[in-house]
Structure 1
């Protein structure tokens, strides 16, 4: 087979390499073209060198091109994969720093909450630019695979306003299923059969079977509480499991910021999180991790390039959806996964226009969702709170309506649990002004926001958060890696 895949944001070097090697694990795909594009010529050069080394070492006919000209990369592409971070770590730091001044302590801040909503405002205009290019220069019927967060908002905008065939992809379901299989003593995650449904980062394992045997709430709670690691790392998720009766796909840290109950007071935050890794609830944890990862990659690049000389091992193909979707569409080998699409009746008790994450099957006819799923009422209620925020956020990003943006932030569950309306109004002004370079739709609103800030009377504080760790130096990372290797 010969077709073209464009990867936007290919400068996300590690993730691009994973997608590339996964796709080349499909025997029929070795003669395809990968067109890489990114705004960073430096990062493009690094990833192209790595992928060229993989192609050369494996003696493949695969073609790899790289350009900062996005339309050139998209021209004739049958599939377009996006893994962009609009604003980079600079804007992301403001997503975490500014809400902290108003008492809002986020672990990740890339889905909803104050940081995730502003992240969506930066992303959506760019996503619509991608869609315009796809409509104009990509292959007829091209499919857009969005990996970029905020997943639901980006996918919502691409489908409703970009008018492009779009699916959002995430790996939270796979990770959650692997945890459940482990605590239940399964020899392989494949022994676990499940139905998992909801919205991205709030997806729920509403049906579980291990080797055909139904698994109930009490058995699952007991299994998690008996696990020597998860019982400490997933305290919040286990508490939600006890109260809701079903397990959430999302990590302890992620889940904590979508709900109004666990991060509203500093003493409560430390009670429910675990500091062994950022993903379990650390303040600004993903920002720290991303900063360290970038610094590590820049320093250790020669080692990454050397590792690219190893043969591709199909047995190590990851469970990221992209390669499996492409394989199913092109070869008709059926793939079952969990996909972010417009609801359209798939989940009976969520709105039609919402972007849901739910089971589906892929073959040459496309992505076919399993319809008629009804969520437990508590799960639907928490999803609804996020959906309402997402809808307002998307509409604000499209219209550039700063008042609607403030209302979206005000209705966020965690923001509402922590902040007053006055605080929210001032915080959003501050974030829009700080991130104005990436918010063209709010350019008209920035002067007035600056004027209001000059007369601001709401008190703020400089606060690192309830559970902050400093960014580690390369030397510290090397020492920790060496210690882990020795211990292992």
Structure 2
């Protein structure tokens, strides 16, 4: 089975390959094609993968190429993890937004809109090529903003594109762990959009254990989300929100923390990864050791500004292991081998949430089999969550419309309608600022 990874020179590709190395079953991935536009990054990542495979018999063969069409042909699965504009683009997204006093995070608020505006046209081009060159392939999208990009691609690929994210997986794992349950045995009632969802229940052997957690202040305050949001607020919500909702519930504090930080997250990662890729140019460098060291630092500093604003302290060691690569592997195995499983995924709504139309991509538990991912029926969201979901989905639709039409006015509308952008004039200045620094937004007229 052939897996093509778009963004194959990306720093987290070794996580995916490491997961593949653990799969020894029949029908596993035997060929991995790395595609990237940057030869030097491809070379660096290929070196890490080579060291990972050194002691693994019959490891999947790795090929690195820069021709997109060649990479797509014959693929059974296509993993999209591209970053249009690179980390420099992410740093610019943050800088322009913070200069206007609004959030510049890469998937939430102004930064997410800017990232989406320059990513959607590229993702749509990829989707069209997949439809032409690999019509039977399944596309697994991790490219951010994941829900928005998955919806853009689904207009050309239908249900053969599925978005993944590690945030719901990590959240469910933490809740199960603090309740003393096996995460593999727990049913997680999670619903929303990507980076905008809530856990409303966690069932073990048919019993919802979440009320027990919400009633125990000490237990609730003992893990990441309890520290980040505060016990009182979680008890008021009656649910555990995805960590990215901290940007909504504590927006002023988050923006202030980002403004006061020595470097934004994007600037930090740009510098950190530049050092890694530069080190990989030395033939004698220990590629896997350097990658492991860099990844540990990256994970430990994840959402550091939010934790500082909340006084949440350092991340727990158990939360530094990522997880999206395991979701990707489980998804591929379920489809390729009809190994039925349940995963929280980004898929078309298909009537699951009545407040959104059929084609809106949402993030919910799905039953996965050889025919793809099928969203599970969920109870309606409470009004406060419905309002946020509908507002942000409306913004995503304006981003898609702007990307399709090239309308600058529609791009302004997308920014202005977002709950975290509080002024039409700010929206206009954001579009001016972003078009000044991003060549990929030159299409907006």
Which of the five TM-score ranges fits, normalised by the shorter chain? Answer: 0.7 to 0.9
Supply the distance in 2 between the matched residues of 1:50 and 1:110 (Cα, whole angstroms). 27
Count residues in correspondence.
411
Q: Do the aligned partners of 1:183 and 1:224 also contact (CA within 8 Å) in 2?
A: no
Report whether the alignment pairs 1:413 with 2:419.
yes
Q: Structure 1, residues 124-153: CA drift from partner, whole Å, max 9, x if none?
A: 111011112212222x32111100101111
Change (3 A) 1:303 1:346: same
Q: Which of 235, 240, 243 is the equivalent residue of 2:236?
A: 243
Q: Do the aligned partners of 2:6 and 2:81 also contact (CA within 8 Å) in 1?
A: yes
Deviation at 1:286, TM superposition (A): 2.9
Change (3 A) 1:283 1:412: farther
Q: Which of 25, 50, 53 is the equivalent residue of 2:51?
A: 53
Q: Which of 406, 426, 431 is the equivalent residue of 1:428?
A: 431
Give the alignment of 1:49-448 within 5 angstroms. 49-60=47-58, 62-106=60-104, 109-138=105-134, 140-161=135-156, 165-184=160-179, 186=180, 188-190=182-184, 192-210=186-204, 212-217=206-211, 219-220=213-214, 222-223=216-217, 227-228=221-222, 230=224, 233-235=227-229, 238=231, 240-248=233-241, 250-251=242-243, 254-257=244-247, 259=248, 262-264=250-252, 285-298=264-277, 301=280, 302-305=285-288, 318=323, 320-416=326-422, 420-435=423-438, 437-442=439-444, 445=445
Q: Structure 1, residues 425-478: CA drift from partner, whole Å, max 9, x if none?
A: 12211211221x112422xx2xxxxxxxxxxxxxxxxxxxxxxxxxxxxxxxxx
Name the larger-Rg structure.
1
Deviation at 1:201, TM superposition (A): 0.8
Q: Structure 1, residues 152-191: CA drift from partner, whole Å, max 9, x if none?
A: 111111012565721110011111112212333x154335
Q: Do the aligned partners of 2:162 and 2:346 also contact (CA within 8 Å) in 1?
A: yes
Unaligned runs of 5+ in 2: 293-320
Change (3 A) 1:64 1:147: same
**Secondary structure in 2 aligned to 1:415?**
coil
Q: Structure 1, residues 206-253: CA drift from partner, whole Å, max 9, x if none?
A: 2223454323557426346663564774136x55523322111x22xx
Report whether the alignment pairs 1:23 with 2:20.
yes
Change (3 A) 1:234 1:129: same
Unaligned runs of 5+ in 1: 310-315, 446-488
Report whether the alignment pairs 1:41 with 2:50.
no
Change (3 A) 1:133 1:220: same
Q: Do the aligned partners of 2:221 and 2:227 also contact (CA within 8 Å) in 1?
A: no
**Secondary structure in 1 aligned to 2:102?**
coil
Supply the distance in 2 between the matched residues of 1:283 and 1:165 (Cα, whole angstroms). 42
Deviation at 1:379, TM superposition (A): 1.7
Q: Do the aligned partners of 1:117 and 1:393 also contact (CA within 8 Å) in 2?
A: yes
Q: CA RMSD in A?
A: 3.0
Q: Do the aligned partners of 1:26 and 1:327 also contact (CA within 8 Å) in 2?
A: no
**Secondary structure in 1 aligned to 2:250?**
coil
**Secondary structure in 1 aligned to 2:57?**
coil
**Secondary structure in 2 aligned to 1:362?**
strand
